[in-house]
Amino acid sequence: MWDWETVREGLPPILRGFEVTLLATVLGSLLAMVLGLGIAVLRRTGGPWVAVPLRVAVEFVRSTPVMIQLFAAWVLLPALEPLVIGIVVLGVHYATYTSEVYRAGIEAVPRGQWEAARALSLSRTRTWSAVVLPQAVRKIVPALGNYVISMFKETPFLSVITVDEMVREAGTFGSDHFAYLEAFTLAAAVFLVASTPTSILMRKLEKRLAH
């Protein structure tokens, strides 16, 4: 039976878990975006000795489940805090996806823009920072936002390495109070409330950038 008093008692620990979930999402997303950009640029500008190993590494990470990556890192790096491991693994995992998004955005920049930069004798750094990346990022912001939402919804995997994120807190509360229905429903509601506005914002941003 549904018990509103149990919901009231369960809200504080679940919100504490939400803070951990949000922290992991924000920091993991920042790492994914920065690292993904670096991978995309290196794969385009580096020689085969750089591009080939990066391509192999990207395919390996993308082809293995994030849960297994979390557990392996947790076992191999016992000196690190589980939350730090979780943030790094999520960031690296999603960097392999964002790097492909960046690559698509870079390749979508018209060839004439590259030639114009070369005709103006712009340095490689100036070409990338002032000509290529501003145009590429404008095209891929919505896709990057979608990956942030996806990472947010995958943070429950951090419970595998004992991180007290929201779903783990809900499970603990449900076990202690024999109230799994209220606990997990409340966690699902928090996920919904947090992710829905972001999804709406991404759709509006996509329409705005399309014009």
* Per-residue confidence in pLDDT tens, the chain, 211 aa: 788 999 999 999 999 999 999 999 999 999 999 999 999 989 888 788 888 999 999 999 999 999 999 999 999 999 999 999 999 999 999 999 999 999 988 888 888 888 888 888 888 888 888 888 888 888 888 888 889 999 999 999 999 999 999 999 999 999 999 999 999 999 999 999 998 888 888 778 777 766 5
DSSP SS3 for 25: helix
Alpha-carbon distances, residue 164 vs 15, 147, 154, 178, 189 (angstroms): 11, 22, 14, 19, 18
pLDDT of residue 211: 59
Question: Of 60, 148, 44, 26, nearest to 105 (Cα)?
Answer: 44
Q: What is the dihedral of CA 95, 101, 107, 113, to 10 degrees?
A: -90
Find how far residue 54's CA is from the centre of its chain.
19
Region of residue 81 (left: phi > 0; alpha: psi -120 to 50; beta: else): beta
Sign of CA dihedral 95, 98, 100, 104: negative
Of 162, 158, 185, 189, residue with least CA distance to 174: 185
What was the pLDDT predicted at 35?
A: 96
Are 32 and 94 in contact by the 8 Å Cβ rule? The answer is yes
Single out the residue of 117, 119, 150 nearest to residue 133, CA to CA: 117
The pLDDT of residue 57 = 94
CATH number, domain containing residue 24: 1.10.3720.10
The answer to whether 7 and 182 are in contact (CB under 8 A) is yes
Going through the chain in order, the beta strands assigned E by DSSP cover none
Domain that holds residue 116: 4-210
Q: Which whole-number Å values give the CA distances from 106 to 125, 129, 143, in the listed order?
A: 14, 12, 14
Amino acid 209: pLDDT: 66
Residue 2 tokens read as 């549904």
In the prediction, which pLDDT does 75 show? Answer: 95
How far apart, in whole angstroms, are the C-alpha atoms of residue 36 and residue 98? 5
* Cα–Cα distance, 80 to 94 (Å, whole number): 20
Task: Tally the domains of the chain.
Answer: 1
174 token code pair: 């449900």
